[in-house]
Structure 1
Amino acid sequence: MSDNTLTDLHQLVWTALMAAMVAGGAYLVFPIGPVPISMQPFFVFLAGFVLGPRSGLLALGLYILAGTVGLPVFSGGHSGLGHLIGPTGGYLFGFALAAWLCGFARKSGRPVSWGAGLAWGGGALLTVYALGGAWLKFALDMTWTKAWLVGVVPFIPWDGLKVVAALVCVRYLFRFGLLPGQR
C-alpha cells in the first residue's frame, strides 16, 4: 500500500469519526435554563478545524445524510426528512457551512492560530445563526425579533466558548502530531 493510500484512508476515517462525533454531540445536552445547550456546535467547529474545509463539509454532509435516511442523529434523537426541513433545518445546513468555514483556519503543516481560528470560528457561528434564525422565522411564521430571541440569543455565550474549546483541542492535537495528514 502506498503512503498516499494510507493518508487518504486516514482522512476518510477522521471524516467518519467527526460525523459520528457531531451525532454524539446531539445527545450531550445540558438543561441550563429554558433552552437546553447541546455539544453539537463544538464538534462542528472541531470537524472544520481538524479536517479542513473540504473534508469538514463532507463530514457534516455525511451526518445530515445519516439523519435524513432515518438514523436518530439529530438533536433529541430525531431523524428523517421532516426534521431536516422543519424549524431546525436551517441550523443543520448552517452546521455544514460552519465546518466548511472553520476549515479555512487550518494551514498545512502549521497549527491553527488563535487569530485565524477565532475569526473563522466567529464567521462560522454567524453563519449558523443567520441560516438557523431565518429558517426558524419562516418555518414557524414568527417575527425576526422573536426568532432572534428564541433561536440565537440564548446560545451566543455557550457557542462562543465552544469555538474556543475547539481551538484548544485542535492545537493540542497538532502539538502531538495527531491531526490527519500531519507527519
Structure 2
Amino acid sequence: MPKDSLTDLHQLVWTALLAATIGAGAYLIVPIGPVPVSMQPFFVFLTGFALGPRRGAMAVGLYLLAGTLGLPVFAGGRSGLGHLFGPTGGYIFGWLAAVWLCGLARQQDGTVPWVRGGGFGLVALLVLYAMGAGWLKFALSMSWHKAWLAGVAPFIVWDIIKLAASLACARYMVRLGLLPGQR
C-alpha cells in the first residue's frame, strides 16, 4: 500500500474515532440545568487540536449526522432534529466553529504549541458560548442575562479545565507520533 494511501486511511480512522468519542462524551454528564455538563466539549477541542480545522469539522459533521439520523449521541443519549434544534442546539452547532478554531492552532508539522493552542482554544470557547447562549435565549425566550447565567456561567471553570486537558492530550499524542499528518 503506498504511503499516501496509508496516510489517508490513518486520517479517516482518526476522523471517525474522534466523531465517536464526541458521541461517547454525551454519556458522561452532570445534569445541572437546561444545558448539562458533559465531556463532549473536551472531545470537540481535542478533535480540533488533533485533526486540524478541516478534518476536525468533518468529524463534528459526522457526529451531527449520526445524531440527526437517530443514533443516541447527543447529551443524555438523545437524538433527532428536535434535540438538535432544542435549547442546546446552539452549543451543538457551535462545536463546528470551536473545532475549526482549535484546529487552526495545529501547525504544519502537526504540533500544537501551548500558547497557540490556549489562545485559539479560548477564542473557540468564547465563540461557542456566544452561539450557545444566543440560541438558548432564542429557544427559551430568555433575556441575555438569564441566558448567560443559565448557559455560560456554570460552565466556565469546567470548560477551561476541559480545554487545558484536551490540549495536554493532543500534545502528548503528538509526542508519541500518533496523530495523522505528523512529519
TM-score range, shorter chain: over 0.9
Aligned-partner SS, 1:108:
coil
RMSD: 1.3
Show the 5 A alignment for 1:1-183: 1-30=1-30, 36-183=36-183
Aligned-partner residue type, residue 178 of structure 1: L
CA distance, structure 2, for counterparts of residue 36 and residue 8 of structure 1 = 36
C-alpha separation between the residues in 2 aligned to 1:106 and 1:112? 5
Sequence identity (%)? 64
Superposed displacement of residue 111, structure 1: 2.2
Unaligned runs of 5+ in 2: none
TM-score computed with the length of structure 2 as normaliser: 0.96
Please state how far the C-alpha of 1:41 moved relative to its aligned partner: 0.4
Offset from partner CA, 1:13-68 (integer Å, 9 cap, x none): 0000000000001101245x667421110000000000000000000000001000
Check the 8 A contact 2:111/2:182 in 1, yes or no.
no
1:151 to partner: Cα distance: 0.5
Question: For each residue in 1:57-105, what CA deviation from the matched residue of structure 2 results, as whole angstroms up to 9, or x when unmatched?
Answer: 0000000010001000000111001111111110011011101110000
State the alpha-carbon separation in 1 of the partners of residues 6 and 178 from structure 2. Answer: 15
- One-letter identity of the residue aligned with 1:2: P
Amino acid aligned to 2:127: T
CA contact (8 A) 2:90 2:136 kept: yes
Distance 1:142 1:99 in 2: 27
Letter in 2 for 1:5: S
Write the letter of the residue equivalent to 1:123.
V
Aligned-partner Cα distance in 2 for 1:129–1:97? 11
User: 2: distance between equivalents of 1:46 and 1:171?
Assistant: 10
SS at match of 1:52: helix
Letter in 2 for 1:132: G
Q: Name the CA distance, whole Å, in 2 between partners of 1:122 and 1:129.
A: 11
In the alignment, the residues of structure 2 paired with residue 142 and residue 115 of structure 1 have an alpha-carbon distance, to the nearest angstrom, of: 36
